[in-house]
Amino acid sequence: MERRRSWSFFILGEGAWVWHVLNPDGTEACSDRTFKTLQECTSDAARHGYVAYKPDAERRSKQPASKSDLG
């Protein structure tokens, strides 16, 4: 059984952002208002349980470890 929530963010025709979440138990929720920016929308979603993880590629060091770093 999936234990993670599935979050979606949409921009409506008038340029307003909303969020939607599908919970593992099949229930759904959505923002009760619209937001001017995606950042405002994701901040509100975070207050409702959204966690933004960086992709693995962004979590890795930009430079590979040198031999001196490895000891």
pLDDT the model gives residue 52: 83
Task: Tell me if residue 10 falls in helix, strand or coil.
Answer: strand
pLDDT the model gives residue 44: 97
The owner of tokens 């138990």 is: 25
pLDDT digits (tens, 9 = 90+) for 4-60: 899 999 999 889 999 999 999 999 999 999 999 999 999 999 999 999 877 665 555
CATH class of 6-56: alpha beta
Q: Where does the pLDDT of residue 69 fall: very low under 50, low under 70, confident under 90, or very high at 90 and above?
A: low
Cβ proximity of 41 and 53 under 8 Å: no
- Residue spans per domain, the chain: 6-56
Output phi, psi for 64, to 5 deg.
Answer: -65, 150
pLDDT the model gives residue 4: 85
Half-sphere exposure of 3 (CA within 13 A, CB side): 0
Token pair for 55: 């992709």
What is the spatial distance between Cα 61 and Cα 63, in angstroms, rounded to a whole number?
Answer: 5
